[in-house]
Amino acid sequence: MRSEKQQLIEDLLDDESRREATLLAGVSSLRRRRHRRAAGRIVAAVILAAVAGLIVQPPRPRPALAKVSPAPTKVAAPLRAQSLTDEQLLSLFPNTPVGLATLPNGKKLLLFPRKGDEAKFVSHL
């Protein structure tokens, strides 16, 4: 004997509707497969075109480096150190507060009251 539940299901889905449902499921499955194959072919074609484009594309020209030849240097006579007067020395720093101090040993020292002025104007050897 059939169960009541089984009998109700068979009444709802007669042979014709079950056949139609099975066919629709098969059609949708085949359609999905066809779409996947087509998408795979399209992706393969795009990759192939990109690779071909990279191979066929001519290489970019590199920028040419300028050839610089050193200018001939003349050997100059050795320069003699010249002394500057205090006024000449102070005139080398226009618009900059600077002082000149004489040390007990006779050396002269430039004094820059603002930070950074000494680094800007004087390089220690």
Q: State pLDDT tens for residues 81-112.
A: 678 888 888 888 888 888 888 889 988 888 88
Mean pLDDT, residues 58-84: 70
pLDDT of residue 62: 76
pLDDT of residue 4: 82
Band (69; pLDDT cuts 50, 70, 90): low
DSSP states of the chain as a string? Answer: ---HHHHHHHHHS-HHHHHHHHHHHHHHHHHHHHHHHHHHHHHHHHHHHHHHHHHHSPPPPPPPPPP-PPPPPP-PPPPPP----HHHHHHTSTTS--EEEE-TTS-EEEE--STTHHHHH----
What's the N-to-C CA distance of the chain in angstroms?
114
Question: Which of the listed ranges 8-17, 46-55, 73-82 does the model predict with the highest average pLDDT?
Answer: 46-55
pLDDT of residue 34: 95
Q: What is the pLDDT of residues 21-61, one digit of tens each?
A: 778 888 899 999 999 999 999 999 999 999 988 888 777 77
Check whether 113 has a pLDDT greater than 80: yes
pLDDT of residue 39: 95
